[in-house]
Homo-oligomer: A and B are copies of this chain.
Amino acid sequence: MTGARDRVLEEATASPTVSRAEFEARAPALRVALLNAQFDLRASNESVVLLVAGDDRLGIAELVQLLHEWLDARHLDTCIFDEPTPEERERPRYWRYWHALPARGRMAVFVGAWPIDAVGALVSGQLDDIGFEAALLEMLEFERTLANEGTRIIKFWVHTPPAERARRLEQVRRDPRHDWRVEPSDWDLHEIHARAEPHVERLLLQSSTPWAPWHVLDGRDDRTRDLALAEHLVADLGAARAAPPAQSVPPLSPNPGRLPAVDLGRVLKSNDYERRLDDLHGQIAELSRRARLAGQSTVLVFEGWDAAGKGGSIRRITQALSVRDYRVMPVSAPDEAERAHHWLWRFWRALPRAGTVLILDRSWYGRVLVERVEGYIDQPTWQRAYGEIRGFEAALIERGYVLLKFWLHIDPAEQFARFKARENTPYKKYKIGAEDYRNRARWDDYAVAAEEMFARTSTASAPWHLVGMNDKRAGRIEIIETVCAALARRLDDVAPSA
């Protein structure tokens, strides 16, 4: 095993290089095949990420050029991932990659990206060996998540042996006509890559999957490298897309469910409510200012029955916040651009800046609620979603976000009364329609879906809070108390007040 590990890179540079005559004989047909593959992609439901990384900076730059010359550049996006910007650092690590993902029918070249993040962090000492293993697992999960929704990921590592790299650096430095090709930092990079080599071997072996394979390109010779790239691309794009195998979903142990246990009988008097709300507004205003200064971000998820009081509860929170500290995201059916991407894409993109609050009026949980119950997606797809959601939320928590999830619960009689009240208020009528009554008729199906959701996505760091809302006043107070307590606990940890 260790023996094999040493040789992925070595083997890639062991074959003879390609002659000019051979290159010129083979290139034209490959170029036509590439254009055809790109053309077919445009009419398909798939997207393609071509990841280009390696130890040969100039080789990578030349490959990016080649891809733009050999493919139709109008349908090719290019994203260079250098050091994260301040904006990017405020979000989970994969945020910038989600942001840049191509829409269905399109192809994008990613330069550097997540493999370089992981190797770079290990070589610089930010990650130890265990941390690197964890980064590899995160990488595999990310690629699997994309592949499940139709993204092909094809990864290239451009390898030039260290001795050859050093020789070239010396040569171009001595030749004044070409010395502009060397950047001052190239010698440092050369050293770093030499040290990184064993870790790169590990990366290439452990993160090559049928749906996101690695290909090592021989950087010693331009023509050999270019032909190999084109041949791999034509072969991979021409083959049927490899989908990750379904992961088994453990059966749920029988349980009475959490909804019946929610207390719907509490009542809070108007005076008590006003006094308590005022007090909590003071707390949350103060906490949100501390959060702003500490760069502490918060995500609040509101789910629950129609007319359970999501909007009103959200407004009772935002009333106490400064407009620049929060954003409310109402979630309904995805628009065209959103449908052209992975279903989690719109939620990744919305993640808040440091120090601010994102409040979701409905959320990614629609995947396992309305989309499941209404049959918009098939069973394997919504079953897969539990894991996708856990992965997404784990990324938020790892980045240090406070994440709170509320299910606002009422009983069917209360819902019926609220529907009627809406119908009788001219400016609330628009909130109620035939669809709401249809959903209501499927109450039991939604309850089953909600119970499975609680069971599969309540984690220690992101539990579900079920709140009885038959009495809106009692429910709102409970919600704001929960938010204040969680935020205070976190801020006392990360930024104790004076």
- B-contacting residues of A (Cβ < 8 Å)? 28-29, 31-32, 35, 39, 57, 60-61, 64-65, 68-70, 72-74, 78, 80, 82, 85-87, 111, 177-181, 183, 278-279, 281-283, 285-286, 289, 311, 315, 318-324, 327-328, 330, 332, 336-337, 361, 425-427, 430
Contact = CB atoms under 8 A, between A and B. Distances in A.
B177 A31 contact: no
Contacts of A321: 61
A78 B327 contact: yes
A69 B315 contact: yes
Contacts of A289: 183
B427 A65 contact: no
B427 A323 contact: no
A282 B82 CA distance: 23
Given A28-B427, A315-B65, A427-B70, A180 B282 contact: yes
A111 B326 CA distance: 13
B80 A323 contact: yes
A73 B330 contact: yes
A426 B29 CA distance: 8
Contacts of A425: 28
11 contacts: A31-B426, A61-B321, A65-B315, A74-B330, A74-B332, A85-B87, A111-B323, A111-B324, A177-B279, A180-B283, A180-B285
A281 B180 contact: yes
B32 A427 contact: yes
A226 to B, nearest CB: 14
Contacts of A32: 426-427
A31 B336 contact: no
Nearest to A66: B315
Given A73-B311, A315-B69, A177 B78 contact: no
B320 A82 contact: no
A31 B427 contact: yes
Given A31-B427, A426-B32, A430-B35, A318 B65 contact: yes
A319 B57 CA distance: 13
A323 B179 CA distance: 18
A411 to B, nearest CB: 26
B322 A73 contact: no
Contact of A80 (B87, B283, B315, B324): B324
A177 B277 CA distance: 11
A73 B427 contact: no
A311 B177 CA distance: 25
B181 A61 contact: no
Nearest to A38: B430
A342 to B, nearest CB: 17
Contacts of A29: 426
A172 to B, nearest CB: 11
A317 to B, nearest CB: 11
3 tightest Cβ-Cβ pairs between the two chains A and B? A31-B427, A180-B282, A180-B285
A105 to B, nearest CB: 11
A423 to B, nearest CB: 14
Given A57-B322, A68-B315, 20 more contacts: A28-B426, A29-B426, A31-B426, A31-B427, A39-B430, A64-B323, A69-B311, A69-B315, A70-B427, A73-B328, A73-B330, A73-B361, A78-B323, A85-B87, A178-B278, A180-B282, A180-B286, A180-B320, A183-B322, A336-B336
Nearest to A34: B427
B319 A65 contact: yes
A70 B337 CA distance: 28
Nearest to A287: B180
A361 B85 CA distance: 27
A324 B83 CA distance: 10
